[in-house]
């Protein structure tokens, strides 16, 4: 008889926590419990990538109708019915939550719809008043949006609330320059909202390749997003005709809705971590080693709460590595190198590996790059441009980075990511026969570098 109630207690029912719980239970026979205070599926399924992608799809249809007319179809773009879409969206999120619950119960995981706190190295206190013990505790509590400390900040929403709007705003201000801010600026613009975006920095999408993010910004503005760089808000106040916003650039205007997309922070407050000796970093993250173990040996952490690479597939990989390490006696460090990712702006940005700027700091490189009008949109008389870019090591000829700005860039970068992860050289790309006519064929037909560094 075990001295603990469970072999594993998981706090958090997002993608990483659910995967770790059910794999530990179903593949190793461990006795597992999981507590979730909100909805199962976590940020990704309930407040992030899944509902956001449905909104991306919805926002693209007006351009389909416009292009269709240029291709000879008698088409018109009607008004967007937000309530119809919203009802369908939330029905789908309810269905997905049910899938997550079913996966856990099918694996034999006991679940608690409650907030959980860490009481000691092997004990969890539930908001129901129950106390549970476990040989191992896994923290998978994710992160939450950060809101700036400015007068009137309570008048704004965040990415958590944007999916629950009762009506589509006519005029909206989005504050921030990261991928969440840019994605929602494109989404709301596509749905018919007049969108203004403020970002305090010199260019949006900090951390991505400069040339790629520059093109994304240009295309966003061309498509109708009123982007103001080097701009922040000073204060907001409620008035009869909406929310009045004062900006650092001297602007003062009214909006139906204001949304903060100014970063996210790990959910580490008030769950007892520091009290039991778990080290918390400067940004509020749980500090872990390469095996996702905290400074308390029986407590592990995965996903956004560790603030390593905050992507859903990474949290799932970390969860799987945790199970291998702890329950299968196969110590497995998490591989955070060369992770492909996509920003679902319009156009999309897909990226894997080093930006040109990062690569230049490490070694001598060659840059292969082309920007052009794609066949489909060119025929429809749209000026949209796409970008295909490879960053190559002069010494090893390895492709250090691949950056794509184009419709469906997310789909393309998944496949390019395999080649880059395998260590493909520029000559490997050159030896690959092009698929014609496609946008992505440019990745294997660029012969001469446009610059070196």
How far is it, in rounded angstroms, from Cα 14 to Cα 45?
Answer: 8
- Identify whether 436 is a catalytic site residue: yes
The string of DSSP letters for 377-407 reads: HHHTT----EEEEEEEETTT-BEEEEEEEET
Nearest to 403 by CA among 208, 253, 179: 208
Burial of 78 (0-12, 13-18, 19+ CB in 10 A): exposed
Across 166-288, the runs of DSSP E, i.e. the strands, are 171-175, 194-199, 226-229, 233-239, 242-247, 252-255, 257-260, 264-266
How far is it, in rounded angstroms, from Cα 248 to Cα 41?
Answer: 38
Which residue intervals of 170-300 are DSSP H helices?
179-190, 210-222
For residue 327, give the H/E element and its range. Answer: helix 312-327
Nearest to 343 by CA among 256, 261, 230: 261
Phi, psi dihedral angles at 275 (to 5 degrees): -65, -30
The catalytic residues are: 436
């Amino acid at each position: 008889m075990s001295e603990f109630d469970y072999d594993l207690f998981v706090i958090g029912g997002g993608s990483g926590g659910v995967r770790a719980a059910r794999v530990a239970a179903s593949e190793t026979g461990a006795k597992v419990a999981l507590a979730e205070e909100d909805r199962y599926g976590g940020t990704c399924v309930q407040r992030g990538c899944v509902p956001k992608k449905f909104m991306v799809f919805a926002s693209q249809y007006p351009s389909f109708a416009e292009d269709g007319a240029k291709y000879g179809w008698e088409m018109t773009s009607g008004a967007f019915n937000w309530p119809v879409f919203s009802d369908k969206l939330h029905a789908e999120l309810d269905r997905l939550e049910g899938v997550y619950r079913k996966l856990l119960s099918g694996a034999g995981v006991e679940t608690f719809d409650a907030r959980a706190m860490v009481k000691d190295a092997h004990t969890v206190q539930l908001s129901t008043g129950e106390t549970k013990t476990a040989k191992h505790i896994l923290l998978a509590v994710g992160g939450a949006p950060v809101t700036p400390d400015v007068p009137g900040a309570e008048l704004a929403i965040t990415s958590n609330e944007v999916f629950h709007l009762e009506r589509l705003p006519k005029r909206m201000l989005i504050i921030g320059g990261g991928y969440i801010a840019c994605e929602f600026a494109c989404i709301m613009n596509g749905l018919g909202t007049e969108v203004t975006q403020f970002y305090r920095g010199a260019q949006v999408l900090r951390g991505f390749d400069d040339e790629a993010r520059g093109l994304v910004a240009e295309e966003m503005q061309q498509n109708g997003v009123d982007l103001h760089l080097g701009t922040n808000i000073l204060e907001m106040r409620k008035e009869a005709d909406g929310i009045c916003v004062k900006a650092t650039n001297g602007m003062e205007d009214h909006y139906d809705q204001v949304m903060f997309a100014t970063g996210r922070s790990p959910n580490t407050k008030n769950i007892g971590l520091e009290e039991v000796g778990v080290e918390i970093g400067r940004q509020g993250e749980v500090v872990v080693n390469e095996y996702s173990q905290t400074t308390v040996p029986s407590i592990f952490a995965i996903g956004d709460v560790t603030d390593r690479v905050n992507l859903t597939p990474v949290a799932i990989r970390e969860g799987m590595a945790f199970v291998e390490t702890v329950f299968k006696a196969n110590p497995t460090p998490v591989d955070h190198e060369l992770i492909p990712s996509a920003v679902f702006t319009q156009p999309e940005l897909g990226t894997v590996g080093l930006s040109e700027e990062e690569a230049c700091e490490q070694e001598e490189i060659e840059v292969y790059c082309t920007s052009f009008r794609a066949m489909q949109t060119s025929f429809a008389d749209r000026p949209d441009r796409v970008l295909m870019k490879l960053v190559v090591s002069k010494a090893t000829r390895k492709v250090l980075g691949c950056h794509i700005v184009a419709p469906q860039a997310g789909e393309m970068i998944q496949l390019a990511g395999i080649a880059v992860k395998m260590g493909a050289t520029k000559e490997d790309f050159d030896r690959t026969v092009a698929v014609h006519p496609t946008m992505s064929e440019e990745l294997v037909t660029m012969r001469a570098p446009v610059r070196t560094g």
